[in-house]
């Protein structure tokens, strides 16, 4: 049986007679004994509640045997019906055997029989015969449970080949020849190393040609993700974006690009030689970034943007459009409408859904992602659609696992042509475990599993949000501060027709009704101006914890805790958030989340508050920071440092400058490709931050947060008192005053006490 060692045979028998000295008890025990004799590990449950716990906690089960009279039968057999429904809501294929007696036959309805696979007449069939049938069903299930490439890989790993091909560690044996190698081998384990193979292994196919089991795996992923074609990418969505952009854009062509784009989009522009016309996204008072509003995607707005662009004005039409959906902060647009709007302006629309691979699998996100509905659902005559998704970010896959999904429409690029771009960014030695994990992530989401797993993540995020809201309300009643989560404060309850506070809203409503998470125009909580009705939805699993400090109007509140301080404190306690902005910290509730994990976070937030309120000494709270920078922090407390930090943000007007900097697109002087060519030719100078005025950037400058290009390659840095440079200066001032809390600005490096950037020589900005 495939993967027997990695996927041990396990079955559950749920029967409350298991321990009884009765005929049914004896036959259940005999059956368990026969299964064990065949190498099956049997889990016994003698109550419905116990059986349910096993079903929920043990996805490795390969058969379930349920006694029809479990929990006494009670005439309605509600316990067994409930268990059957529970199993089928999570797994459509798991073999389920109903153990019954002939007299029970009239009670077995069509519904019950369609949820169970086989009936076992316990007092008539022999235990040997039934065990044989169970084992055969388990084997069939195991054959089908693994997706194609993973099945082939596990099968291959069992052949114990002598490897005469790359990689040079040859199934791990090379590591055994040195102490460091041995430690590496022990840590990662032999199985991973024996699965690290090369294209020389014919039977596993080829990623570059999409042949064999790898090709099958991509076709399988296309079915699961609703694409016409899918490409498994082992260089992350960074590579996926570069592939799509280099496949779609030729030098000089115009691309409509969300300014809130990942650096890989900028790299794709430089590689293809295209000219970006930037689409400005929305931002709110906390600096959270939302989608580009629909008004900026209309044909007229796009035509005007193109006409006003010094390098794009001559182009008749844009060739490609790329939107980030959802944003890092979890805001996603109405993708159906966005595709229609952009599709009027160009023939190919690309959604960078690095943060949204789970969207297809839960009704909350209906219509909010590129591959919505079935492949035929995209309107005829519409644009060709691309989605690039980081399977590894929010689904269960190894880092670097990503997919490109395609639905052909206007100016479709046939596979062979597209594949030339794919090969340009792919390696000839891909990591097979990454490909397998990409496919396993798809397998986990196939069928009912996708909605269950995504629903559980949403439910945990909702529970965490509610817990924080309750604590906040309780503390507010005592006149005390607490953190908040960024999200709706109240929602419409269709049951009552009224609006209920978030903390009291029924969980069933919050996890299922998209209206709860839609940003309604005019609602104060979200702070986004100029929204249209249904345009934008907050993905509940991206939870921004809001620190005190910024009012709804963007003004400074007297009490403020810059988020970097909270993050440093949490990290010192081994709690590592995804992203830290000015006054928000982002936590991802991906499908691996557990109650224990978020419970610990709630406790940590309460502990922080306690330490903050008593101004606990930094020497106790952040000892490594004080040891590294005694001059800056010795003798200070947590609260004292927060006050200093908050005052600096206020005095430097950093938030206002950030808003102004991102509200104004810099003037493009050279195309990204031309700027990059100057860099390659060395026609650049390293310029200190204080002397950037009037210069043209050869590289992009991307401060984290918010992680979107402040200045893109080829753009003018503007004047010294312009918003872009003033904002950079405010960041720099903070970095100098608070060592250990520096901002990352991609595109800059430290030299001689200054932040340096490459600017193009001899071109005025």
Ligand X SMILES: Cc1ncc(COP(=O)(O)O)c(C=O)c1O
SS3 201: coil
Tell me how far, at minimum, the Cβ of 359 lies from ligand X, in Å: 14
Judged by CB, which is closer to ligand X: 115, or 584? 584
Q: In angstroms, rounded to a whole number, what is the distance separating the alpha carbons of residues 275 and 250? A: 10
Tell me how far, at minimum, the Cβ of 328 lies from ligand X, in Å: 6
Q: Does 352 bind ligand X (CB under 6 A)?
A: yes
Judged by CB, which is closer to ligand X: 390, or 567? 390
Judged by CB, which is closer to ligand X: 339, or 726? 339
Token readout for 115 is 């949820």
Tell me how far, at minimum, the Cβ of 277 lies from ligand X, in Å: 19
Q: Contacting ligand X (CB under 6 A), which of 324, 384, 431, 584?
A: 324
Q: Does 590 bind ligand X (CB under 6 A)?
A: no
Judged by CB, which is closer to ligand X: 355, or 758? 355
Tell me how far, at minimum, the Cβ of 237 lies from ligand X, in Å: 3
Q: Contacting ligand X (CB under 6 A), which of 27, 62, 267, 402?
A: 402
Number of residues that bind ligand X (CB under 6 A): 12
Tell me how far, at minimum, the Cβ of 235 lies from ligand X, in Å: 7
Span interacting with ligand X, options 2-10, 221-229, 231-239, 561-569, rule CB under 6 A: 231-239
The closest residue (CB) to ligand X is: 236
Q: In angstroms, rounded to a whole number, what is the distance separating the alpha carbons of residues 176 and 172? A: 7
Q: In angstroms, rounded to a whole number, what is the distance separating the alpha carbons of residues 125 and 103? A: 15
Q: Does 264 bind ligand X (CB under 6 A)?
A: yes
Give 704's DSSP letter: E
Q: In angstroms, rounded to a whole number, what is the distance separating the alpha carbons of residues 174 and 526? A: 56
Beta-strand runs (E) in 434-556: 484-485, 490-493, 498-501, 536-538, 542-546
Q: Does 354 bind ligand X (CB under 6 A)?
A: yes
Q: Please name the residue that has the structure tokens 């060739």.
A: 319
Q: Which residue from 69, 96, 70, 74 is spatially nearest to 85, judged by alpha carbons?
A: 96
Which residues 448-507 are close enough to bind ligand X by CB under 6 A? none
Span interacting with ligand X, options 28-36, 92-100, 232-240, 506-514, rule CB under 6 A: 232-240
Q: Across-strand partners of 289?
A: 283
Tell me how far, at minimum, the Cβ of 358 lies from ligand X, in Å: 14
Span interacting with ligand X, options 5-13, 230-238, 626-634, 708-716, rule CB under 6 A: 230-238
Q: In angstroms, rounded to a whole number, what is the distance separating the alpha carbons of residues 692 and 699? A: 13
Judged by CB, which is closer to ligand X: 95, or 236? 236
Q: Contacting ligand X (CB under 6 A), which of 150, 195, 230, 237?
A: 237
Judged by CB, which is closer to ligand X: 264, or 378? 264
Tell me how far, at minimum, the Cβ of 753 lies from ligand X, in Å: 30
Cis peptide before 167 (omega within 30 of 0): yes
Q: Contacting ligand X (CB under 6 A), which of 24, 122, 267, 390?
A: 390
Q: In terms of DSSP H, where are the helices of 560-698?
A: 563-571, 595-613, 618-621, 623-628, 630-633, 638-652, 654-663, 672-681
Start-to-end C-alpha separation, the chain: 67
Judged by CB, which is closer to ligand X: 264, or 437? 264
Cα Dmax for the chain: 95
Which residues 244-263 are close enough to bind ligand X by CB under 6 A? 262
Q: Is residue 748 within 8 Å of 756, Cβ to Cβ?
A: yes
Q: Contacting ligand X (CB under 6 A), which of 68, 328, 432, 589?
A: 328
Q: In angstroms, rounded to a whole number, what is the distance separating the alpha carbons of residues 97 and 133? A: 10
Side-chain half-sphere of 380: how many Cα atoms within 13 Å?
A: 0
Q: Contacting ligand X (CB under 6 A), which of 147, 236, 330, 703?
A: 236
CA distances from 409 to 80, 378, 382, 572 (A): 48, 8, 5, 51
Residues at the contact surface with ligand X, assessed by CB under 6 A: 236-238, 241, 262, 264, 324, 328, 352, 354, 390, 402
């Amino acid at each position: 049986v495939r993967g027997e060692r990695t996927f041990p045979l396990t079955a559950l028998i749920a029967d409350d007679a298991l321990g009884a000295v009765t005929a049914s008890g004896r036959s259940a025990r005999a059956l368990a004994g026969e299964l064990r004799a065949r190498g099956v590990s049997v889990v016994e449950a003698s109550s419905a509640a116990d059986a349910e716990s096993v079903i929920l906690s043990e996805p490795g089960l390969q058969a379930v045997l349920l006694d029809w009279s479990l929990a006494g039968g009670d005439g309605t057999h509600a316990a067994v019906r409930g268990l059957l429904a529970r199993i089928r809501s999570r797994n459509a294929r798991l073999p389920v055997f109903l153990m019954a007696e002939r007299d029970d036959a009239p009670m077995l309805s069509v519904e019950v029989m369609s949820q169970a696979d086989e009936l076992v007449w316990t007092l008539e069939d022999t235990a040997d015969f039934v065990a044989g049938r169970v084992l055969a069903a388990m084997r069939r299930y195991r054959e089908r449970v693994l997706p194609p490439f993973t099945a082939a890989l596990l099968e291959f790993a069992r052949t114990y080949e002598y490897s005469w091909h790359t990689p040079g560690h040859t199934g791990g044996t090379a590591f055994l020849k040195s102490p460091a190698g041995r430690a590496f081998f022990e840590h990662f384990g032999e199985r991973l190393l024996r699965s690290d193979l090369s294209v020389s292994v014919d039977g596993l196919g080829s990623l570059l040609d999409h042949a064999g089991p790898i090709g099958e795996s991509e076709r399988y992923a296309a079915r699961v993700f609703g694409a016409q074609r899918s490409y498994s990418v082992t260089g992350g969505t960074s590579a996926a974006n570069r592939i799509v952009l280099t496949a779609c854009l030729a030098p000089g062509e115009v691309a409509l690009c969300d300014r809130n784009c990942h650096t890989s989009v900028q790299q794709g522009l430089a590689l293809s030689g295209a000219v970006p016309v930037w689409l400005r996204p929305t931002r709110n008072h906390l600096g959270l970034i939302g989608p580009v509003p629909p008004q900026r995607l209309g044909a007229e707005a796009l035509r005007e943007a193109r006409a006003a662009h010094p390098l794009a004005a001559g182009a008749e039409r844009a060739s490609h459009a790329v939107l980030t959906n959802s944003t890092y902060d979890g805001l996603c647009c109405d993708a159906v409408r966005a595709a229609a709007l952009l599709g009027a302006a160009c023939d190919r629309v690309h959604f960078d859904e690095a943060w949204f691979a789970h969207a297809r699998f839960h009704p909350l996100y209906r219509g909010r992602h590129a591959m919505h509905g079935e492949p035929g659902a995209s309107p005829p005559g519409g644009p060709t659609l691309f989605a690039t998704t980081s399977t590894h970010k929010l689904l269960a896959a190894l880092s670097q696992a990503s997919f490109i999904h395609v639905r052909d429409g206007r100016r479709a690029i046939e596979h062979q042509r597209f594949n030339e771009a794919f090969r340009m960014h792919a390696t000839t030695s891909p990591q097979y475990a990454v490909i397998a994990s990409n496919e396993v992530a798809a397998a986990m989401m196939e069928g009912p599993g996708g909605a269950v797993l995504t629903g559980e993540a949403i439910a945990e995020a909702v529970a965490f949000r509610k817990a924080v809201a309750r604590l906040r309300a309780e503390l507010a009643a005592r006149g005390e501060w607490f953190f908040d989560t960024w999200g709706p404060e109240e929602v419409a309850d269709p049951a009552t027709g009224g609006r209920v506070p978030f903390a009291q809203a029924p969980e069933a409503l919050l996890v299922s009704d998209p209206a709860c998470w839609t940003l309604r125009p005019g609602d104060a909580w979200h702070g986004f101006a100029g929204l249209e009705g249904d345009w934008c939805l907050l993905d509940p699993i991206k939870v921004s914890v809001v620190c005190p400090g910024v009012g709804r109007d963007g003004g400074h509140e007297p009490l403020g805790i810059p988020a970097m301080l909270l993050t440093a404190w949490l990290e010192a306690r081994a709690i590592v958030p995804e992203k830290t902005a000015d006054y928000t910290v982002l936590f991802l509730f991906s499908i691996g989340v557990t109650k224990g994990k978020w419970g610990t976070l709630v406790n940590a937030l309460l502990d922080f508050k306690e330490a903050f309120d008593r101004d606990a000494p930094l020497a106790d709270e952040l000892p490594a920071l004080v040891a590294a920078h005694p001059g800056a922090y010795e003798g200070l407390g947590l609260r004292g440092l927060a006050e200093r930090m908050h005052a600096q943000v206020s005095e430097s007007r950093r938030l206002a400058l950030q808003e102004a900097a991102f509200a104004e697109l810099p003037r493009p002087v050279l195309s990204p490709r031309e700027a990059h060519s100057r860099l390659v030719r060395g026609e650049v100078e390293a310029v200190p931050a204080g002397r950037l005025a009037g210069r043209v950037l050869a590289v992009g400058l991307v401060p984290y947060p918010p992680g979107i290009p402040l200045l893109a390659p080829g753009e003018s840095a503007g004047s010294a008192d312009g918003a872009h440079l003033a904002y950079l200066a405010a960041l720099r001032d903070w970095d100098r005053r608070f060592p250990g809390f520096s901002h990352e600005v991609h595109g800059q490096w430290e030299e001689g006490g200054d932040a340096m950037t490459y600017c193009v020589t001899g071109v005025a900005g």
